[in-house]
Structures are given as C-alpha cells and as structure tokens.
Structure 1
Amino acid sequence: MIKTATTPIYEIAGGWIKIQGTVSASKTFVTPHFKQECIAYTYRKADISYDSEDNTERENSVTTEEEFQDFYLTNPTGKIKVILHKINLALLSAKTDTLHSIKYAVDDIRYTERTLKNGDLISVLGYANKNSNHQFELSEQDNQPLLIATPDFEDKTKKSFKVFKYLIPYFILMYLAVNYFLFFAPVKQQIEKSTAFVLFIFFGMPILGILFSVIGTKINGFGKVVLSGIGGTCFVTSLLSFPLLCLLFMTDTDYYLIERVWASILLCTTLAFTIHYRKIEGAFDQD
C-alpha cells in the first residue's frame, strides 16, 4: 500500500493499482452501538475480564458484525467503482466504548466500530479489471486482498519508517555493546549494589523524561530543543532498558555488568537523539 504510487483514474490500464478519492454510495447503514450513518462498517462486541495477578485483560464471548456494499471513488481524474466481496477496515481509525460493570464477577463490555462514510477521503489498493461495459472496476484478485486505508495512516507509517531508518545503526550498536558486556567482557571489579541507582534507572529516568518533555513544550528556541532532546533520551532509555534490566536482576547478574549494560543503552540513545534530533522532529512535522 505504502510503496505503490497513486494512479490517475484516466491512466488505468489494468492490474494492481492504488486509487485515492472520496467515497460515495447511495445506500447507508446505521452502526449497532454508536448509531453512525455510513456506507460500510465493522462492529465488534467483547466481554472484558481482568486478571489481577498479571495485570492483563482478556476478551470473552466476542461478537462481530459487518455490513458493506460496492461504492465509488471520485477524484479530479475521474470516477471508479470499487467491488467488495468482503470488507477489511482494520487500517481505519476505530471508535470504542467500554461499559464498566458495577457488579462483582461481571465482565465489562467493549464495543468497537470502524466505518466508511460518504465523503471520506481514502486510498484503495486493488486489482483493476474491465466490466461488461468496458469500464474499469477495482476488486480483490485471487490471493491479493483489496486494502482500504486513509492518507493520514499512510503518511504516519511512511514517517515512522523514515525515523526507523535513521535509528537502526544505533540499535545495531546498542545490540553489539550489550552483548559484549553480557557475554564477552571480563568482570574486573566487584561493585556493591546501589539502591539509589536502581531506583533512579527504574523510576527516576522516566519521571525525568516526562518532566523535561513537558518543560520543553512550554518554551521556544534552543532551550526547547535541548530540553525535549533530554526528555526523549531519558524516556526512550527507560523504555528500552526496563525489560532487560528486570531480567538481569532476576537472574542475579553481576551488578558491574548491569551498570555497563544500562550505560551502553543510555550512550547509544543519547548519540541517536543528539545526531538525528532535527531529522526525527522534522519527520513528524505537519506538512
């Protein structure tokens, strides 16, 4: 979907293409829970139970429903019909509602709906074939499904891949450094475990990350760049190191190695933010 360029409707020659345009259809439906008027929808109802031991939620008694129809895509280059044999709106934003039960041992209920409405701007990736009237239509073909997404979803995904391209060398460097200290570096000294340091890396760093980020949004200029960069470095370091440090402490790894592993993650994250901060920030600027 992302790598395929949009084709003008008047240039369609058949085959696998992507068309962007506004949706139109004569018939409308009303969704079961939110009562939204649309031309296609998917609906999901699930009972939610919670496990207090591992702090997770589970879905039970899931009910699904959908209604859809063929529709037209229109843009300045023309109009084309989209033929639907099944519907997949997973790449569209969802509207959710959770009804919390006040009774003990009764599950909450979560409703999720995705809709396609008249006037929505979407991209459709499908197979173009001529119908009996020698007009092109979009549909799925064999094992190639018809995909529906919004330009906003495509744009955010492209920017995320761009940021990942900037950061992947530092992930590789981080991986090599952490594995070096865990498996190859000799333990040259025994360091007494510092409770203050442990509390800082688990709780202090994410708090500092949030604090600096919030302060950075309140000011402008160079100060904003510095504080936002520090906040991002603290938060991402905590996010990347937390599961690994938990595992190392649980397996009674030497404290000297734990310090070096954490320092490696901090150093690589700091380098990534320092060198590519402007590129990362620019990737998510509004066009």
Structure 2
Amino acid sequence: MLVVSNRFIVPVVPVILAVIVYFVTRTQRTLIKKKSTPIYALSEGLVKIEGTVSAPKTFETPHFKQQCIAYTYEEGDITYDSDTGSEYVHKTFKKEEFQDFYLSNDTGKIKVMVSQLNLTFLPAKTDTLHSVKYAVDDIRYTERTLKNGDLVSVLGYAVKNDLQEFELRENGNKSLAISTPEVETKTRKAFKVLKDLLPYLILMYVGVNYFLFAPLKIHVKENEVFPYFAIFGMPILGIVLCAIGSNFKGFTHLLLTHLGGICFSVFLLSVPLICLFYMIELEFTRAICIWVTIFICTTLAFIMNHRKLDGYFSKEDLT
C-alpha cells in the first residue's frame, strides 16, 4: 500500500510497461521485419515462409463447427463490473487439435512440424451466450482455426531431416508463430503509428514528472467538478463528438472525430493518474497541470499525425 500511495510510482510504471511491451511484442516485431525466404533457397536457422496450407486430415471445431486442419478453442464464464461496465472472462476451458501440415508457394513445398500450437496471431471468431436470468452465467466462446487453402506466414527454424530435406520446426519450447498477411499489415501499421507518437509520449512523460516533482509558483483553486469531468465527462464528450462528426463529411468530419479521439485518449491516459493523485492527496495545482500537459501533448500528437492516423484507422484497414 505504501508503494501504491507514493508519487514515485508515476515515473517508474511507464518504464516497466515499456519493457514489458518490448519483450511481449518481440515475436510480432520479428514477423513483420523478416522477409519471406524462398523454399528453394533455405538454409538452417530462423526463417519466415509464406504459403498456402494443406493437410490430409480435417477437424471440426466444438462451437462453430468449422472444418479445419488445426484449431484452438476457449470457453469462459463472463462476469461484469457494475461500476465500470467492464467484463471479465474466467474459468476458461481450453481445447486444441492440430497436426503437421505443408506450406506451398511458387518456390516449392515444405513440411511444417507441430508439437505445440500457437494461433494467437490469427483472427478469432467469438460468440457470447447470454443468460436470461443472470449476467454471471454468460459464456464466451472463442475459436481460431487453420484451414486448407489459407495463405499464412510461418516463423520457425528450418532444419534438415534424415532424408536431408528441409522441414520447418519449433525451436525448443518456442512454438511456431503463424500469422496472415492481413494481420501482419495491421501490426506493421500499429508499430508505425506507435513510432510516430513516441516523441509526444516522451514529451508527455517529461512534462508529467516535471509538474509532479518541480516547485510550482502558481496556485490553482481546487475545483470539485474537475475529477468528474476528467473521468466521466471526457469519454461522454468523445462519444458525442464522434457521433456528430459521423453525420458530416470533409473537414468538419475530420475535426469532430479527431476531437472525439483526443477526448478518449486523454481520458485513457489521465484516469489512472487522477485516481492515484486522489489516493496520495496530491496538491490540486499539480494534478490540474499534469492533466493539461497530457491534453496538450495528446492534441499535438493528433495534429501532427492526423493523416497517418486517418490512414491507419480507415474503414478499409479495419475490415
């Protein structure tokens, strides 16, 4: 509790989160950076091969009854937080079936050996069964599949078998990474947007810590309305602006939807800090200065990168 109620947690947590994100996304970054290797030009080591999937045996998924050559299935009970409206999935039941398969393209054909399945990077198909009486009895079904004819990219290790033919295998306890060109394109754009926004995130980090620790010569009278506006008003304002903006075209549409995006972004970035500030009873002047800093940096980020953001969040990219 002492650590949570200490303002020194503010500069530490973003660094810890950045380190976690760096290691968690290592496989995705390798997938999008590594170029596909022609099958006829393989050498032993880590490679990425893009091709069409084929396998002799088919399975049927438990819920959606899809015909596939491999799948992962998850079933979980859903509970809802009445205060925040968030939902949580727990007591998850998992099942998977898979087999070795082949990848084929115009450079050849290679066998992919699978001893553990990882379809995390493939699109998920979900369904929620709602209970008539109790929300806690809601059930979420999630399936990811690999089907004959799918065009995928597989990241793994090329090794020679006893017949001196190359096969694609896992490396120790690291399962094969399987993705699609569409997922890789969206991931590449997401990292590009993060890279473009990084200078403004760093500026925000510096500004927040300055107003958190530096001596201040100004004084802002405490306002009881501020926390309610920051926590509840900003997301509501964001929804209203986006709803109004959807009825327009051209500059008005861009202006209103971007203002809505700014409201949502400021809300997401500032709410954890505001809650912490009230827990540690931080001076109101520092809290309001930090909120304004987040608002200014977020607005600058949107203004300087609005064309790139429009390209990434366009309807074509989201379908």
- TM above 0.5, one fold? yes
Amino acid across the alignment from 2:63: H
CA separation of 1:189 and 1:231: change in aligned 2, threshold 3 A:
same
AA of the residue aligned to 1:22 = T
Residue of structure 2 equivalent to 1:186: 216
Cα deviation, 1:68-124, whole Å, max 9, x if unaligned, reads 111111222222211112211121122223333445697443322211111111110
C-alpha distance in 2 between matches for 1:124 and 1:15? 13
With 124-133 and 163-172 compared, the bigger mean Cα shift is at 124-133
Structure 1 consecutive aligned stretches of length 4 or more whose deviation exceeds 6 Å: none
Q: Which residue of 2 aligns with 1:157?
A: 187
Alignment partner of 1:130 out of 160, 185, 194: 160
Letter in 2 for 1:129: V
> Is this contact kept in 1: 2:78–2:87, CA < 8 A?
no
Q: Which residue of 1 aligns with 2:170?
A: 140
Letter in 1 for 2:265: V
Asked whether the 8 Å contact 1:47–1:109 carries over to 2, the reply is yes
2:189–2:312 contact (8 Å) kept in structure 1:
yes
CA distance in 2, matches of 1:273, 1:175: 17
Alpha-carbon distance change, 207 to 47 in structure 1, aligned in 2, over 3 angstroms: closer
Asked whether 1:257 is paired with 2:282, we answer: no
Residues 100 and 113, structure 2, Cα contact 8 Å, conserved in 1: yes
Unpaired segments ≥5 residues, structure 1: none
Q: What SS is found at the alignment partner of 2:198?
A: helix
Q: How many pairs align? A: 285
Q: Is 2:275 aligned against 1:240?
A: no
The answer to whether 1:99 aligns with 2:129 is yes
Matches of 1:208 and 1:105, distance apart in 2: 29
Q: Which residue of 1 aligns with 2:303?
A: 274
Cα 1:143–1:250 change in 2 (3 A) is closer
Q: Does 1:57 align with 2:88?
A: yes
- The amino acid across from 1:127 in the alignment is Y
Give the secondary structure class of the aligned counterpart of 1:2. Answer: helix
**TM score, norm. by length of structure 1:** 0.88
Q: 1:238 to 1:63 in 2, by over 3 A?
A: closer
The RMSD of aligned alpha carbons is 2.5
Question: Is structure 2 residue 256 aligned with structure 1 residue 224?
Answer: no
Letter in 1 for 2:244: I
| 2: CA distance, partners of 1:58 / 1:213 | 29
- Residue type at the aligned position of 1:100: H
Q: What residue in structure 2 maps to residue 204 of structure 1?
A: 233
Would you say the 8 A contact 1:162–1:283 is kept in 2?
no
User: Per-residue deviation at 1:190?
Assistant: 5.0
Unaligned 5+ runs, structure 2: 1-30
- The CA deviation at 1:187 is 5.3
Whichever residue aligns with residue 268 of structure 1, its letter is: C
Distance 1:224 1:58 in 2: 36
Please list, as runs of the form range in 1=range in 2, the aligned pairs for 1:19-30 lying within 5 A after superposition. 19-30=49-60
1:21, distance to aligned residue in structure 2 (A) = 1.3
The answer to which structure has the higher helix fraction is 2
Equivalent residues of 2:78, 2:135 under 8 A apart: no
Distance 2:117 2:278 in 1: 48
Work out which of the residue numbers 142, 148, 156 in structure 2 matches 1:112.
Answer: 142
SS at match of 2:275: helix
Q: Which residue of 1 aligns with 2:242?
A: 213
Q: 1:242 to 1:156 in 2, by over 3 A?
A: same
1:172 alignment partner in structure 2:
202
SS of the equivalent of 1:205 reads helix
CA contact (8 A) 2:76 2:89 kept: no
Deviations 1:129-150 (A, max 9, x none): 2334433221113344311112
